Amino acid sequence: MKKRVLIIYYSFTQQTRILIKNFAAGIEEKGAEVVLERLEPVQPYEFPFKTDLRLASVMVRTFLRRRAEIHEISQACYGEWDRIVLAGPTWSYHPSGPVLDFLARFGESVCRGKEVSVFISCRSYWRLHYWSLRIALKRFGSFPTAPIIYVHPIKEPYRLIGLILQLRGKMIRRENSWFRKHYPGYGHNKSQLEDAYQKGLSVGAEITSKSEDAD
Ligand SMILES: Cc1cc2nc3c(=O)[nH]c(=O)nc-3n(C[C@H](O)[C@H](O)[C@H](O)COP(=O)(O)O)c2cc1C
């Protein structure tokens, strides 16, 4: 029987999504089946944010751990899984609003008794996000594994300025501008995508070797 991995994720600016795509390809390469479940907010966030105030308001709401209601998840999520991966960006030190809603409404019934890997894409601050998910997962009776973390690979303050410009739709496009010399582009780079694939291979190998041990 093929081993099965469920990847539940939210991605706003597509960074988690592209990492997950590579990660899933690595798992599949080792012969496991991967099912992706994308969390969809009932009221999608605007992108880019039209005003600084609207961006600030999402940041403050997430800082206060306010949930953003998501659509029902598919029934398949409640099945048997050899590993669940819970993936998404850090927002204001916490999981994003859609992930908070997933945890509150569906987290326990989906994750109870399962091995769960937290997978984070962020600019730089992931620790509080990770620890709060780990505590919630343990409370559900899940078994958190080592986390998988990707931070934007650029120095401050360019990384922060670049994020804000991107979220406000104001990224400086001129490649030879002073800013772009320090900030080649928003988000993760090619070597991180390759790394995500390699991590997928090792998670896939770990899961499928467990099946061989049991057989
Ligand atoms: C509203 C908002 C708040 C954010 N707050 C943080 C933060 O506190 N710490 C951090 O490291 N990154 C923060 N980020 C950056 C995202 O974590 C980062 O850009 C991530 O790669 C986005 O992943 P995604 O494209 O899958 O949504 C924030 C992004 C948004 C949109």
pLDDT, tens only, 18-49: 999 999 999 999 999 999 999 999 999 999 99
12 lines ligand 1 (CB under 6 A): yes
Torsion over CA: 74, 46, 157, 15 (sign): positive
**Most ligand 1 atoms within 8 A of CB, residue of 10, 11, 13 to mutate:** 13
67 lines ligand 1 (CB under 6 A): no
CA angle centred on 6, ends 125 and 101, rounded to 5°: 55
Nearest atom (ligand 1) to Cα of 9: 26
Q: Global pTM?
A: 0.96
Q: Where are the domains of the chain?
A: 4-152+188-214, 154-187
* Kind and range of the H or E run holding 129: helix 127-139
Residue by residue, DSSP assigns 33-92 as EEEEEE--BSSPPPSS-SSHHHHHHHHHHHHTT----BPPPPGGGGS--SEEEEEEEEET
pLDDT tens digit string along 136-180?
999 999 999 999 999 999 999 999 999 999 999 999 988 889 999
87 lines ligand 1 (CB under 6 A): no
**β-pairing verdict for 115-122 and 148-151:** parallel
Class of domain 4-152+188-214: alpha beta
Average pLDDT over residues 55-66: 97
For ligand 1, atom 16, the nearest C-alpha belongs to: 122
